[in-house]
Amino acid sequence: MTRIAVALFQDAEELDVVGPWEVLAAWSTQWPEDGVEVFTVADSSEAVTCAKGLRVLSDHTWEAAPPIDVLVYPGGRGTRRELADPVVLERLRKLREQDVLMTSVCTGALVFAAAGLLHERPATTWWGSLETLAELDPSIDLRPDDRFVDSGEVVTAAGVSAGIDMALHLVARLGSVERAREVRRYIQYDPAPPV
C-alpha cells in the first residue's frame, strides 16, 4: 500500500491542491490493484478556506493521520505563515527523517526551504517566488525553467498548474510510465492553452 497525503492549510492555492489530487486519486480509484490510497490532511477537521475562497474539508487531522509514504505540499499565500511556523517546520523535518517522499507545488517549496529540506538540492517554485526561495536558502540550485525537479528524496514543482505534471511524474515513478499514460488519458490531459 502506498499512502499519499495532500496537505491542506488556510490560504493554500486551490489548483495546487486539486491538480495533484485529481491525478493521484484517479490513479487510486480507477486502478485499485495498484494499492494506492490518497487522502487530505490538515490541522483540524474544520473547513479550510483556500487562497481564492474555496472551502474544503480534510479527511484527517495531522494528529490522527495514518502513516504517510508520500506528502504533497501545495503553495498559495498561506505558505508565508506556514514557513514561519516552527510546528509546521518540525513536522516536515520529521516526515523527511521518516523517509517520506516530500513533494511540493508552487510556493510549497518555500516552506520546504524554511524547513531545510532543499539544502544543496536543485529545486523550483512559482516564477514570482524564485528570489524568495533563494533568500530562504542560498545553497539551493534554482531551476527556473523546469516544470518540476525530482532530486530523489524531494520533488518540487513550478507554479500552480505544474502540480498536474509533477503528479503524473509521481505515478510514473511510483507506478509505471504506462499507468501514468493511462491516468493522463483518463483526465484527458492534452492541454491546449487558447491564449
Binding site for a copy of itself (CB under 8 A): 13-15, 17-19, 21-22, 25-26, 28-29, 38-40, 47, 52-57, 59, 106, 126-127, 147-148, 158-162, 164-165, 168-169, 171-172, 177, 180-181, 184-195
What's the closest the beta carbon of residue 193 comes to a copy of itself, in angstroms? Answer: 6
Active-site annotation holder among 25, 68, 106, 162: 106
Q: Which of 88, 157 has the CB closer to a copy of itself?
A: 157
What's the closest the beta carbon of residue 175 comes to a copy of itself, in angstroms? Answer: 11
What's the closest the beta carbon of residue 11 comes to a copy of itself, in angstroms? Answer: 12
Only one residue has cell 479527511, namely 59
Q: How far apart (Å, rounded) are the C-alpha atoms in residues 67 and 40?
A: 13
What's the closest the beta carbon of residue 64 comes to a copy of itself, in angstroms? Answer: 16
Asked if residues 42 and 106 have their Cβ atoms less than 8 Å apart, the reply is no
Report the interhelical angle of 162-174 vs 14-30 (nearest 10°): 30
106 is annotated as an active-site residue: yes
Q: Which of 96, 169 has the CB closer to a copy of itself?
A: 169
Q: Which of 91, 147 has the CB closer to a copy of itself?
A: 147
Q: How far apart (Å, rounded) are the C-alpha atoms in residues 188 and 190?
A: 6
* Residues in CB range of 42: below 8 A, 6 or more apart: 7, 8, 9, 48, 58, 60, 61, 62
Q: Which three cell numbers stand for residue 13?
A: 492555492
Q: How far apart (Å, rounded) are the C-alpha atoms in residues 166 and 121?
A: 17
Q: Which of 95, 149 has the CB closer to a copy of itself?
A: 149
Positions marked catalytic: 106
